[in-house]
Structures are given as C-alpha cells and as structure tokens.
Amino acid sequence: MTRFNSLKATAARHAPAIAAAATVIFYAGQVLAQAAAPTPPAPPAPPPKLDSGDTAWMLTSTALVLLMTIPGLALFYGGMVRKKNVLSVLMQCFAITCLVTVLWMIAAYSLAFNGDGAYIGNLAKAFLKGIGKDTLNGTIPETVFMCFQMTFAIITPALIVGAFADRMKFSAMLWFMGLWLLLVYAPIAHWVWGGGFLMKAGVLDFAGGTVVHINAGVAGLVCALVLGKRIGLGSENFAPHNLVLTVIGASLLWVGWFGFNAGSAVASNGSAGMAMAVTQIATAAAALTWMFVEWALRGKPSALGIASGAVAGLVAITPASGFVGPTGSLAIGIAAGIGCYWGATWLKRTCGYDDSLDAFGVHAVGGIIGALLTGVFAVKAIGGTAGVLEGNGHQLITQGYGVLCTIVYDAIATFIILKVIDVIIGLRVDADTEREGLDINLHGETVP
C-alpha cells in the first residue's frame, strides 16, 4: 500500500519539475519550429525516470535489511540457545537466506508483486523474466526493488527459527521454509503490498507488521505447538549460553531496521526521514519500558531484557513507521515494551507452549500491538491516512481486519504444511540427538 503510495508521492514530487522542463522544451520547440518548419512537434510524454537519490538509498537499505538476518538475527538467536545448538541456529538462518534468495528469483517475487489478483500474483515474472538493467519500479531499478523485497522474504522465515530452536530436523526445516515462503509469505505479501485485497481494503502496513512480524510470530506459535516441548523444559538449565552474541545481534537488528522501515518509503524523502525518527524513538522507549518492568517485577534490569525490549519496539513501530509521528511512536514503544514482556513471560507460561526464543511472544504480540496502534496514531499529514485520534475510528477496524486475515490464513496454512512434512519425513530430531545437541549430530561440528 505504502510502497505504491510512496511511488505516487515521488512522481507527484517530481511533477512540477517535469512540467517545467516539458514547458521549456515545448516553447524551445515552438521557437525552433517557427524558425525552421511550419508545424511544431508534439511535446513528448515524460517517461518514468530513474531517481539516483532514491536508488542510492534503496541499495543501502537492501544491504541493511540483509544485515538484520545475517548476522543480526542469527547472533541474537544464537546467543540465547544452549552451546550445543548454537551452530544449528546460525546454520538455519544462513541456509534460509540462501534458499529464499533462489526461490524468490524462481517464483516468489512474481507471485507476491506481479499481477492484480486479490489473493495471489502470477508467474509472469518467474525467473525474473523481463526484468532488465533499465526496468524501473517507480523511480528505482526493478532489480533493486526485487532485492529489497527479497531481504524481507529472507528475514520473515528466519524469525520463525526462534520458535522451534533446539529440536527441528534440518531437512524438515528446509522443506518447511521453502513451502512456507511460497504458500504463506508470497500470498500475504501480495494481499498487503502487491495489490491484493487487504491493500484495497485500506490496511496500513508500512514495513511489515502483518506481512513480516505477525506472519512469522503466528507461524512460530504453530511450529511450537506441533513440534511440542523440548526435552527437559522446566527441569533442566536452559539458560542462554552467551548473551554477548545476543546483545550484538540485537544491536545489528536495530541498525539494520533503518533500512527495513525508512527503506520502506522506497524513496529518499521526508517519509523515509520520519520513518527513521519514529523507529529510533519507539525502540528506545520499548527497551527502557521492558527494562523497568523487569527491574520492578524481578529485581534486576537485565541485558537480555533491554535487548528484547528494543526488538519489541522495532517490531511494533514497523507497520506504523510511515504513518505516525514522534508522539505516537513513543506511545507505541511503551505499549510494545509492556505487551511483549507479558507475551514472553506470563502468556507463554500460562498457555504452556514452548516457543524457545519467543518468536510469538515478541514478534506476533509486538506486530499486533503495532498494527492496531497504527490505526490509532496515524496522522493524515504524515502518511495520508488519519487514525482514531484524528477522528477516523474506522481505521482501527480496518487494521483489525488485516491482522485477523493474516492470523487465520497463516495459522491454518502453516499447520497443514507442518503436518504434511511430519507424515513424509518427520519434523523432530530423535531424543538422543536433542539431548546431545543438534550441532554435533546434524552438522558434525561443535563450538568449544
């Protein structure tokens, strides 16, 4: 939605310049025509024009978002598992990056971003057919747009890793991620960003609150439920083996997120600037909130807590980043800090599922908070749509509709994919492998 709006906005921004240039050309043509020939030539229609500023920022953003998965998310998750499984987590994130890249090129990009279907795109751009050096998407090369979107398609499945860490077969993981990309991510990205029914319904999702975070978080919950609890949960020591890795990972995620949110303007403009500002504010507010809540309830402000809070804030501001102002982002950050702390602690304990690294508790809960609060705090002057606070109560309902559609389809489709894989090759490693560790058993390597 936003991405298309921003393209329109970019075109509108250039319109006066284009019109002025066309006028100059027209009059120059008339002068020349009067001098040389009796009939003046018609002024040419301005072709879509590449903007080097936009292109430079989107090349940078693409690299920043890739940095979020490898090494950012890989380290964030890797530090939180026990030492015997750290390589398995790094390996999963790295392999997903490679697998999604290839599938994105083959079919997923076309399914998500090409065609006018309400539910899914088409395969006209399979194998990136027809995309050349000079093909544009708005003001940037389509190659850049395709790569930028690819990095989102990479991090979304990688986020799910947090839910089934320590116990999934590597082969089953690859099958699951490939099928999930094509059957869940590509359609939902099409619904919200590619011209599908949620985009037409007016659902606001600037950078992926529904498409990325709710999607990954809910799929993670389904994975945790289908795979079952890890052996020894509740009786053995599951403490993170190296929180230095986790804090480095969270920091890289934070830095990379400027590409994620400000890059989702698909332009180097004021919208990108506001997205950057609100991203920073919400993240800091959520990190402080989680820290203070934990300090109050558990007695100590922890490094894992402040890092988790930062990620919660980043998640929650994601859908809102092109639509809300600084005050709204502060409120969203505080809500995310409280909500995600609740999601990762009370909610998980009470419901009893084993979401190893809180993919659901942070990403789905944070994504839902962000998606709904976008409808509350949206400012018409910033993103073109008013929220509840500006008198547009309906936007909250629209946001809820987007959240609900994503959750329902995602949960059902993920469940089916998992069950099919379970029947054919099995999802879970055997008990001995799980006890001894995935690193040595699945990958033949260990970290001393």
> Could you list the residues that contact another protein (CB under 8 A)?
80, 237-240, 294, 298, 300, 302, 304-305, 308, 341, 344-346, 349, 358
Is-contact 213 317, C-beta < 8 A? no
- Say how far apart CA 232 and CA 279 lie, in whole Å: 38
Is-contact 87 74, C-beta < 8 A? no
CA–centroid distance for 270 within its chain = 21
Token look-up 């006018």 returns 116
143 DSSP 8-state letter:
H
Cis? peptide before 16, omega within 30° of 0:
no
129 vs 298, beta carbon nearer another protein = 298
- Count the neighbouring beta carbons within 10 Å of the beta carbon of residue 335: 23
Q: What distance separates the 2 farthest-apart alpha carbons in the chain?
A: 93
Ranges of beta strands (E only) in 128-266 are 136-137, 140-141
> Within 13 Å, how many C-alpha atoms sit on residue 125's CB side?
19
Closest CB 342 distance from another protein, rounded Å: 9
Closest CB 344 distance from another protein, rounded Å: 5
Q: What residues have CB less than 8 Å from 75, skipping those under 6 apart? A: 90, 245, 246, 248, 249, 252
Token look-up 């380290």 returns 75
Closest CB 242 distance from another protein, rounded Å: 12
List beta partners, residue 168: 428
141 vs 361, beta carbon nearer another protein = 361
**DSSP assignment string, 278-336:** HHHHHHHHHHHHHHHHHHHHHSS--HHHHHHHHHHHHHHHTTTTTT--HHHHHHHHHHH
Tokens at residue 180, please? 């999930």
Closest CB 237 distance from another protein, rounded Å: 5
4 vs 238, beta carbon nearer another protein = 238
Residue ranges in 104-140 assigned as alpha helix (H):
109-113
Closest CB 406 distance from another protein, rounded Å: 25
Could you give phi then psi for residue 125, rounded to 5 degrees?
Answer: -105, 25
- Count the neighbouring beta carbons within 10 Å of the beta carbon of residue 63: 15
Q: What residues have CB less than 8 Å from 425, skipping those under 6 apart? A: 169, 171, 172, 175
Is-contact 66 154, C-beta < 8 A? yes
67 vs 340, beta carbon nearer another protein = 340
